[in-house]
Structure 1
Amino acid sequence: MTSASTHPDHHRISPVFLALAAIMAVSGWAVWSGLADVTGVAVFFFVVSGWVVSLCLHEYAHARTALRSGDTSVAAKGYLTLNPLKYTHAMLSIVLPVVFVVLGGIGLPGGAVYIERGRIPGRWKHSLISAAGPATNALFAAVLTAPFWLDAMGDVPFAFRHALAFLAMLQVTAAILNLLPVPGLDGYGVLEPWLSPAARRQAEPFAPFGLLVVFGFLWIPGVNGVFWEAIGNVMGVLDVTDLDVGYGYDYFRFWQGEPEVAVTPQP
């Protein structure tokens, strides 16, 4: 006998996600191959598809942790299939984050899966569910930058190196922004179970606007400078330079013309 949480269709990887992974693989191959006149376009598709894949993995981590914690409803909702079309707010979860990447080169998080918190006992479980998403972004960033901190970039084509750096930077920004203790973001979700009922009631009305508040603060020059300095420090720990990320962003914005890179920037 199968239940909603164990039905195989609720765990089968979605063709939509497989298509996204295929686009990432094919465009990554095109970037690596340095195909004439399409490198910038290939970098664009590699980064965008990789970014959406990371968003799917982020939300899957929330849902999988919720399932293990007691909310079996996430299976029937399709959250375990990695299908972004199943998310509660596809516009906030997929479209807007991609727009932010295109316009500003920043990985802003978005809310997506609905967890039935009443099914889950224990404050630690609630905190772990919220922390699972940013942890996935951090892990993805570590994987993407592994060739950098393992000193394995010797034979990697310049464009692919820079595309990896830019995509990894998006993961770092998403992880850091999502961990901010702002209502509506995962950082607040980690803290919320430990707050008093009165404090939670006061913060609840602000949850729908948390992402907009963060975005607004990033327009303040002083805040923006501190934020990007922190991002640069984290990327430096991962042995990725500002030049690597900058060239990656330039390749990504292919409509402005591809950058001229004569040598690989060194740390």
Structure 2
Amino acid sequence: MTTAITRSDRRVSPVFLGLVAIMAVSAWAVWTGFSANTGFAVFLLVTSGWLVSLCLHEYAHARTALHGGDLSIGAKGYLTLNPLKYTHAMLSIVLPLIFVILGGIGLPGGAVFIERHSIRGRWKHSLISAAGPLTNALFAVVITAPFWLGLMDDVPVAFRCALAFLALLQVSATILNFLPVPGLDGYGVLEPWLSHSVRRQVEPFAPFGLLAVFALLWVPEINDVFFDSVDAILRGLGVTELETALGQQWFRFWEGEPQLLDLWPVLNP
């Protein structure tokens, strides 16, 4: 077993730095109107920002596990923020991105592989599971800071709405991740406190938890309740439903110009 974390184990991956660079350049393009296709620039900004948040989500799990006692984390490459090092890159990166493109939902991905037997204490296990969605929550607070601080008056509308939609993804990911469903982080927070027999009975359902949540979100009544909750939180952070809707329409650039754009000067005189 690995007993020490080397400097190379902690070195930030060029892949992650590349994602940050794409996010920065696309943010500049949206802000300045440099791109001839504003929607495509918004798509790049939101997509790269979402991927960066996914990397930070998984890093938070790994870093907390390291401090909890799992010294194998470094050798697995989880501390480099490289999404290609994840045990389930398809679940952690590809599927969540597809769900964002298709439905505008920040669906959680698969977690990094942690050697739980190396960690002692229920609270440590719960904190490791909670670290990921808490990172999404913090990300949402940070990118909405200009909204709840009242600093958005002179910000270009496309940039403003792109941040709003990215915030929606973070809030929805936080809520979904904290659901006490087997296979999601919320259940991981709860699991250490359950009896061994209960955990054994629930374990076979873990691979299907994510699919079950996605299926339930297609039920109109459940979908309405979920997004009403997301919108309520965003309103508390100073973000309006028009801003998130416009951000999503710009993000889906292949559908043309945002249909709600005509409402902007009316609702924001």
CA distance in 1: counterparts of 2:265 and 2:155, whole angstroms: 12
User: Per-residue deviation at 1:5?
Assistant: 3.6
AA at the equivalent of 1:85 = L
What SS does structure 1 have at the residue aligned with 2:136?
A: helix
For 1:45 and 1:201, the matched residues in 2 are separated by 43
Conserved? CA contact 2:137–2:171, under 8 Å: yes
Equivalent in the alignment of 2:46: 47
- Distance in structure 2 (CA, Å) of the matches to 1:12 and 1:36: 33
Match of 2:20 in 1: 21
Q: Please give the per-residue CA displacement for 1:116-168, whole angstroms capped at 9, x wherever unaligned.
A: 00000000000000000000000000001000000000111000000000001
What is the percent sequence identity of the aligned residues? 68
Using a 3 Å threshold, how does the CA distance of structure 1 residues 190 and 213 change in structure 2: closer, same or farther?
A: same
| Residue 226 (structure 2) pairs with residue 227 (structure 1) | yes
Check the 8 A contact 1:4/1:10 in 2, yes or no: no
Equivalent in the alignment of 2:167: 168
Q: Which runs of 5+ in 2 are unaligned?
A: none
Distance 1:139 1:122 in 2: 25
Q: Hey, what's the Cα distance between the residues in 2 that align with 1:6 and 1:190?
A: 26
Distance 1:147 1:117 in 2: 39
Structure 2 counterpart of 1:183: 182
Aligned residue identity for 1:26: V
Larger mean Cα displacement after TM superposition, 254-263 or 241-250: 254-263
1:38 aligns with 2:41: no
2:265 to 249, 254, 263: 263
Distance change (3 Å), C-alpha of 1:4 and 1:163: farther
Please state how far the C-alpha of 1:36 moved relative to its aligned partner.
4.9
Residues 108 and 177, structure 2, Cα contact 8 Å, conserved in 1: yes
Amino acid at match of 1:46: L
User: How much does 1:34 deviate?
Assistant: 1.1
Q: Which runs of 4+ in 1 moved over 4 A?
A: 264-267
Report the Cα distance in structure 2 between the residues aligned to 1:196 and 1:46, rounded to whole angstroms: 44
Q: How many residues are aligned here?
A: 265
- What amino acid is the match of 2:36? D
Give, in angstroms, the shift of residue 69 of structure 1: 0.5
Matching of residue 201 in structure 1 with residue 200 in structure 2: yes
How far off its partner does 1:6 sit?
A: 2.2
| Structure 2 residue aligned with 1:60 | 59
How many Å separate the matches in 1 of 2:63 and 2:266?
A: 40
State the alpha-carbon separation in 1 of the partners of residues 66 and 267 from structure 2: 44
Q: Scaled by the length of structure 1, what TM-score is found?
A: 0.97
**Partners of 1:4 and 1:76 within 8 A in 2:** no
- State the distance in 2 between where 1:104 and 1:148 align: 24
1:175 shift after superposition: 0.4
Alignment TM-score, normalising by the size of structure 2: 0.96
Q: Given that residues 22 and 48 in structure 2 are in contact (C-alpha distance below 8 angstroms), is that contact kept between their aligned partners in structure 1?
A: yes
| Distance in structure 2 (CA, Å) of the matches to 1:264 and 1:187 | 41
How far residue 264 of structure 1 moved from its aligned partner, in angstroms, is 8.2
